[in-house]
Structure 1
Amino acid sequence: MGKYSPLRSYLMAQTGERVPMSFSDIEKLLGEKLPASKQYPAWWSNNPSNNPMTKEWLAAGFQTESVNIAGENLVFRRAQAGSGSSKGFGESAQAEISGTSSRHPIFGCMKGTLTIMPDVDLTEPADPDWGKVYED
C-alpha cells in the first residue's frame, strides 16, 4: 500500500460525479504534507507517468479539473468510460496503471543499428588537439 493509496480509497468511496478538495484536505487524508511540487500545475495533470499520486486518482476512476494553485484547491471529476487521458501513440491511462502498456509499433525499431567496437573509448575527445584553440 503506497503513501497515496488513501486518496484512491477515498475517491472510490465517493458517489458523486465531482469531488472538490483542498490541498489541506488531501494532506489530512494522507497524513503527511504534499510535496513542494504541488505548486506547479503539471503536478496535477492527468498524465499517469507524471507522479505516483496521479496513478491513484486515475485508478479510482477520476481526473483532475479546475485546479486552483493559488487557492490550493481542485475538483476531481469522475472519468467517463472510454475517455482515457490523451496520451501519445494511443496508450491509455489504464494500460499505464496496470503495467500493460501498449507501445507504438515502431518502438525499438532502431535497436541494434549502432555497434561500438570494443577498443573505442567514448570518453576520449574525438579531436585531441581541440583544447589548443583556447591556449593561444
Structure 2
Amino acid sequence: MGKYSPLRSYLLSQDKERIPMSFNDIERLIGEKLPASKQYPAWWSNNPSNNPMTKEWLAAGFQTESVNIAGGNLVFRRVRVISGEVGGFGESAQSEIGGVASRHPIFGCMKGTLTIIPDVDLTEPADPDWGKVYED
C-alpha cells in the first residue's frame, strides 16, 4: 500500500461525479504534507507517468479538473471506463498500471458519422491531369 493509496480508497467510496477537494483535505487524507511540487500545474495533470499520486486517482476512475493552485483546491471528475480504459485524451491509466497495451479511448469516436455515396472511388485523383505536369 503506497502513501497515496488512501486517496484512491476515498475516491472509490464516492458516488458523485465530481469531488471537490482542497490540498489540505488531501494532506489530511494521506496523513502527510504534499510535496512542494504541488504548486506546479503539471503535478496535477492526468498523465499516468507524472507522479505516484496521479496513478491513484486515475486507478479510482477519476481525473483532475479545475485545479486552482493559488486557492489550493481542485475537482476530481469521474471518467467513463471503456473496456479497461479510462476515458479522456490522456493515456490509459489502466494500461499504464496494468501493462496492458490497448487502443486510445478516442479511437473510433467518429464511426458512422460519414456516408460515402455509392460508386465513388476515393482512390481516384481529384484532378485526372495532375500527373501531366511531370510528363513534360
TM-score normalised over the length of structure 1 = 0.69
Structure 1 unaligned residues grouped into runs of 5+: 104-136
Give the letter aligned to residue 49 of structure 1. Answer: S
Q: How does 1:1-136 map to 2 (within 5 A)?
A: 1-82=1-82, 84-87=87-90, 91-101=91-101
Question: Matches of 2:80 and 2:102 in 1, distance apart?
Answer: 21
8 Å contact from structure 1 (residues 18, 75) kept in 2: yes
Structure 2 unaligned residues grouped into runs of 5+: 104-136
Percentage identity across paired residues of the two chains = 79
Question: Matches of 2:52 and 2:29 in 1, distance apart?
Answer: 16
Provide Cα deviations, 1:56-95, integer angstroms capped at 9, x if missing partner.
00000000000000000000000122353434xxx52210
8 Å contact from structure 2 (residues 79, 88) kept in 1: no
2:120 is matched with which residue? none
User: Secondary structure of 1:11's partner?
Assistant: helix
8 Å contact from structure 1 (residues 18, 78) kept in 2: yes
TM-score normalised over the length of structure 2 = 0.69
8 Å contact from structure 1 (residues 84, 94) kept in 2: no
Question: Matches of 1:53 and 1:85 in 2, distance apart?
Answer: 18
Question: Matches of 1:27 and 1:75 in 2, distance apart?
Answer: 15
Provide Cα deviations, 1:84-117, integer angstroms capped at 9, x if missing partner.
3434xxx5221002123459xxxxxxxxxxxxxx
Question: Matches of 2:2 and 2:101 in 1, distance apart?
Answer: 21
Question: Matches of 1:101 and 1:37 in 2, distance apart?
Answer: 30
8 Å contact from structure 1 (residues 8, 56) kept in 2: yes
8 Å contact from structure 1 (residues 46, 85) kept in 2: no
User: Secondary structure of 2:89's partner?
Assistant: coil
Question: Matches of 1:23 and 1:92 in 2, distance apart?
Answer: 25
Give the letter aligned to residue 21 of structure 2. Answer: M
8 Å contact from structure 1 (residues 67, 73) kept in 2: yes
2:130 is matched with which residue? none
> Across the two proteins, how many residue pairs are aligned to each other?
100
